[in-house]
A and B are shown apart, each in its own frame.
Chain A
Amino acid sequence: MIKKFIHQFASPKTYLFQVNKFYNYIFFISVFIYISSITWGLLFTPEDFVQGNSFRIIYLHVPASFISQSLYAAMAVSSIVYLVWRVKLAAYLVIAIAPIGAMTTFIALISGSIWGIPTWGTWWQWDARITSTLILFIMYLGLISFHNSFSNYEKADKLLSWLVIVGAVNIPIIKKSVDWWSTLHQSASITLTNKPSIDPSMLYPLIGSIIGFFGLILCLVLLSSKNQILIREKTKSWIKDYV
């Protein structure tokens, strides 16, 4: 059943038409959620009693950090799907996600640095969380340059998929770095198992900003994957009709 579903949805043609159908809805809903959450967070949330107004950068930093790791996990899942079921679309998704993953990781690092100046008194610290996130950024860049170095797309896809799967080992390291090492970076305020340690007045706009940011990044992934399909399937007759 899973195989049937994957093969049905994984046709680049079906995917492209489905994306066109849903893209506008996802985009406008995400813009609405993100703008309202950001507005809520920046204008109506009370000041933090220790950090003052500087804490408000969480509405950019937390979604960017969360999504940078999630995108890598999505790449790893797509790589497995490509190597196991030979679904071409999964390979397109891997390379479509990589630059967006690099961008979100960069946003996470920069916003973290900006936040670090007023709270830690330094814009950079070689602690485990920050260093492992920097490693993730370098890995994204490495993956992009690796894929670009091959002229044979099929070979590049296969090798890239293996590399992504091996590199996925970095994701749990980033996630657990604040628990495994004594770091300057604080531990997670929102977990699946425990009650959030953040006040609800700050929590709700944060959840909204994560959802909104996720939606916007999803839109970018959809556009990037559409781009990949148009490049890679350009010789197919249906693409000529589509364009």
Chain B
Amino acid sequence: MKIIRLEFLKLKKKTRTWLGPVLVFWLMMIAYPLTVEFLQEKLEVGFFSVLWIAILISMMLATEDIFLEDFNDGTLEQIMIKTSSFSTLVSVKILTYWIFVGIPISILSFIFSFGTTEDLALSLMIFPLSIISSYIFLNLFVMGNALSLNKGSVLGALVTMPLALPVLIVLGKSIIAIQLSINYLGFIFLLLGCLSIIIVTVPLVVSYIIKAHLE
């Protein structure tokens, strides 16, 4: 509980880290209608593709320096010496970032989706998809940033982005499923299944990666 409170306080103070990605997401979603003509049907055609990619990029930005400060000021070394559980720390960090960035972005996804499609049922279905996918993307980019801890976030994104692409494919298919009213829950369960595996494996892998950096 103490570690959760500590991570919450730390992230709360770093306004740029959590507000920045949310604002970038907002700007991307506002910029989208400017690139197409203001015809409702034209807006709807590419809206969801832009939405998923905006979530992906925002999550990438959110995790940019997730471990950097702790790595530079020696906090990670202290944790390793104290033999505290690294994977717990990583899980808590990801959860905190998701609460600060993932949830606001998911709420914005719902709002923008409703604003564009004017379909409440569809927008309500988008909300859980964006909630789950933002958590998955966050986990993947955290791993990427752990790998390229002091090498810049571009390298981390480059190596983990391919792993996020199957999720994008599933998200694209789920939109078709919603539009055709077929097997929406199946896609939700598929994403939840992926998430349950990722939630367990990523913190473990990231803890080994950070240890490799510190050794």
Contacts and interface: CB of A to CB of B under 8 A. Distances in A.
Nearest to B156: A146
A196 B152 CA distance: 49
A135 interface: yes
A24 B108 CA distance: 63
B32 interface: no
B162 A162 contact: no
B213 interface: yes
Contact of B151 (A128, A135, A149): A149
Nearest to B166: A173
Contacts of B212: 155, 158-159, 162
B143 interface: yes
Interface stretch (A26-34, A50-58, A112-120, A163-171): A163-171
A162 B169 contact: no
Contacts of B148: 146, 149
Interface in A74-92: none
A216 B173 CA distance: 40
A162 B155 contact: no
B147 A159 contact: yes
B158 A159 contact: no
B162 A138 contact: yes
A145 B144 CA distance: 13
Interface in B143-171: 143, 147-148, 151, 155, 158-159, 161-163, 165-166, 169
A167 B205 CA distance: 12
B162 A166 contact: no
A155 B151 CA distance: 13
Contacts of A181: 173
Grouping DSSP codes into helix (H, G, I), strand (E, B) and loop, the B interface class, with mixed when no group exceeds half, is helix
B197 to A, nearest CB: 9
A181 B170 CA distance: 10
Interface residues of B, number: 21
Contacts of B205: 162, 165-166
Interface string A55-81: 000000000000000000000000000
B159 A142 contact: yes
B169 A167 contact: no
A206 interface: no
B157 to A, nearest CB: 9
Interface string A123-138: 0000010011001101
Contact of A132 (B166, B173, B208): B166
Nearest to A169: B163
A11 B163 CA distance: 34
A162 B163 contact: no
A181 B166 CA distance: 12
B162 A142 contact: yes
Contacts of A138: 161-162
Contacts of B80: none
A170 B169 CA distance: 13
A143 interface: yes
A169 B193 CA distance: 14
A142 B151 CA distance: 14
Interface string B184-215: 00000000000000000100010011001101
A138 B159 CA distance: 8
9 contacts: A131-B169, A143-B159, A146-B159, A159-B212, A162-B209, A166-B205, A167-B162, A169-B163, A181-B173
